[in-house]
Amino acid sequence: MTPIITKTELEVRYAETDQMGVVHHSNYAIYFELARVDWLQKVGMHYHEMEKNGVMLPLSRLNVNFKKPAKFGDTLQVITKLNKMPDVKIIFEYEIFKNEELITTGETVLVFVDKISMKPMRCPKSTQELISSFTS
């Protein structure tokens, strides 16, 4: 599969920093979520539509590798990649850049879950077809 890659730009807000003036580690999960939602929208998928169709996507794993800090006012570019066709889970990889320098990498794993039974399910065929249309 050809990776599907998007770029999301974020500006660090004062409330996201700690007493040392750097972005608190807990905010990177939010940055990844913002970039993931942006990725989904850019490929034509929306969380609220998936949920209306009975599909939930809870997070099952989050990995973050900190290389350098981000600070208040910094403009960050979050690169989001999908390298593998989803099955029961969908895995996103992230790279965060500040001034073209890589400062953070990460990965999230989300599981497709039936909204009623709350049990894992296979990725809907319509979602796989939509993703396939971007990798051809």
Residues 56-69 pLDDT 10s: 999 999 999 999 99
CA distances to 10, 87, 122, 124 from 112, rounded to whole Å, are 27, 8, 6, 9
CB atoms within 10 A of CB 94: 23
In three-state secondary structure terms, 20 is: coil
Please state the rounded mean pLDDT for residues 103-111: 98
Give which of 67, 107, 65, 77 is closest to 12, Cα–Cα.
Answer: 77
The pLDDT of residue 7 is 98
- Nearest partner of 110 among 59, 54, 34, judged by Cα: 59
Read off the pTM: 0.94
pLDDT beyond 90 at 46: no
Architecture of domain 4-135: Roll (3.10)
Nearest Cα to Cα of residue 6 among 79, 97, 73, 91:
79
Which one from 18, 38, 74, 114 is the annotated catalytic residue?
18
- Given this model, what pLDDT does residue 73 score? 96
Mean local confidence (pLDDT), 24-47: 95
135 pLDDT band, cuts 50/70/90, is confident
Separation between Cα atoms, residue 32 and residue 27, nearest integer Å: 9
User: So what's the pLDDT on residue 106?
Assistant: 98
Q: Which residues pair with 23 in a beta bridge?
A: 17
Query: Where exactly are the structural domains of the chain?
Result: 4-135
Q: Where does the pLDDT of residue 1 fall: very low under 50, low under 70, confident under 90, or very high at 90 and above? A: confident
Q: Would you say residue 136 has pLDDT above 70?
A: no
114 is known as an active-site residue: no
